[in-house]
A and B are shown apart, each in its own frame.
Chain A
Amino acid sequence: MPSLSDKAWSPYVAGVLIGLLQIPAFLIIQTALGASSSFVTVGDAVASLLDPSLLQIDYAAKHVDATAKNLWQVALVVGVGIGAFISMKMSGARRQPISPIWSRALGSSSSALRYAVAFVAGFLMLFGARIADGCTSGHGLSGMAQLSVGSTVAVAAMFAGGIVTAMLLLRRI
């Protein structure tokens, strides 16, 4: 039996648990599991303090609006951080500040280089997710479970982009 203090669970136990989260998402919030639009809600809320005219764009205004769905997803991703922290504390796993795979993947142990790559990666990730209108959660977990045609195309493109980038730009880990 999986225990809360285990260092690792089977991917099948964890996958079932994540899939079951669709029940409260659909029943209570009337939405599907997703993560990337919370970046728009938080990012645009902060940016609109510097440039209030941003909220004249409907897309930004719609995401910053304090609706149940917008704030639910912000709370969800904050909860992800808390849940991962609790799980790590309960298993007693210790992590280095940067995963040891990066010095091999980037061919350099410079943390400044890693931070720069991470920033660019985050930018691409969210710019792409917002063009596609969903990420690994919204298109991947939720879209594929709903047999969505567009989400299946988006997930195929996501893996294609990920595999080509990891093979060409990163060294083998």
Chain B
Amino acid sequence: MMGSIAMAIAVGLLMGIVFGFALEKSRVFEPGMIVGQMQMRNFIMLKVFLTAVATGAVVLAALNGFGFVKLQPKAALYAADVVGGLLLGAGIALAGACPGTTLAQIGVGYRDAIFTLIGGLCGAVAFSYAQPWLAKTLIGSGPKLIFTDLIGIPYWQGAIGLAAILVVVLALMERARSWRKDLGANVDGDTPSASQFKGRMVPAE
């Protein structure tokens, strides 16, 4: 028992290091990237996100299709998904981070991310106190629904289909605007076009 827990912690640490490395190298953990995405002027976050979803779909199509793993979808709880998703999104915009990238920001030395983390821990504790009441009023229960079950085809076919669509979407996005243009001089999403835009707002003397 202890052995399996120690292994889970070691696996978690190693996976986290790879995850954090990829978040830092892609620059997606930068507040400039996340706020820029939510203001629809920087698309690196969406590119990393959709690429990871497509890769995950291909991986899971293989692992599940050949019977190595069971899927672990969350229950469809529409009211909770909408209300929780809206609050989560508002928090992401104001934090310039999501729960996972908050830790990456702390790792590179962003001091405000420490406050995001403390706020996040307080939010999680506040939810725990409210959970018995929220579970009855808002969250409820629901089925673990996946789209391919609704259509009646095997998961792996739907997953490969999703990945194919995402590859086309990403190719079109990249053709419309290269990811290099969204990096900015200090690779923090603080892009030259932002200051040019500001420059245009100032009347010429």
Q: Which residues of A contact B (CB under 8 A)?
A: 2, 6-33, 35-36, 39-40, 42-44, 46-47, 54, 57-60, 63, 66-69, 71-88, 91, 93, 95, 97-102, 104-105, 111, 114-167, 169-170, 172-173
**A148 touching B121, Cβ below 8 Å:** no
A86: which B residues are within 8 A, CB to CB? 17, 20-21
On whether A17 and B89 interact (CB within 8 A), knowing A100-B190, A135-B98, A149-B146, the answer reads no
On whether A125 and B98 interact (CB within 8 A), knowing A28-B11, A76-B12, the answer reads yes
B30: which A residues are within 8 A, CB to CB? 99
**A26 touching B25, Cβ below 8 Å:** no
**B183 touching A8, Cβ below 8 Å:** yes
Complex: A75 Cα to B8 Cα, angstroms: 8
B102: which A residues are within 8 A, CB to CB? 122
9 contacts between A and B (CB under 8 A): A14-B28, A31-B72, A54-B125, A57-B129, A101-B190, A119-B115, A148-B73, A161-B89, A170-B93
Complex: A155 Cα to B96 Cα, angstroms: 17
Interface check B164, CB cutoff 8 A: no
Interface check B175, CB cutoff 8 A: no
Q: Which of B150-164 contact A (CB under 8 A)?
A: 150, 155, 158-159, 162
Complex: A104 Cα to B22 Cα, angstroms: 27
**B25 touching A8, Cβ below 8 Å:** yes
Q: Which of A131, A135, A154, A157 sits near B127, CB closer than 8 Å?
A: A131
Tally of contact residues, B, Cβ under 8 A:
139
A13: which B residues are within 8 A, CB to CB? 25-26
**B5 touching A68, Cβ below 8 Å:** yes
Complex: A115 Cα to B103 Cα, angstroms: 16
**B116 touching A129, Cβ below 8 Å:** no
**B103 touching A162, Cβ below 8 Å:** no
On whether A167 and B147 interact (CB within 8 A), knowing A14-B48, A80-B107, A162-B92, the answer reads no
Nearest-Cβ distance from residue B199 to partner chain A, whole angstroms = 13
With CB as the reference atom, state the residue of chain A lying closest to B161.
A147
Which 3 pairs between the two chains have the least Cβ-Cβ distance?
A79-B16, A19-B55, A15-B51
With CB as the reference atom, state the residue of chain A lying closest to B77.
A150
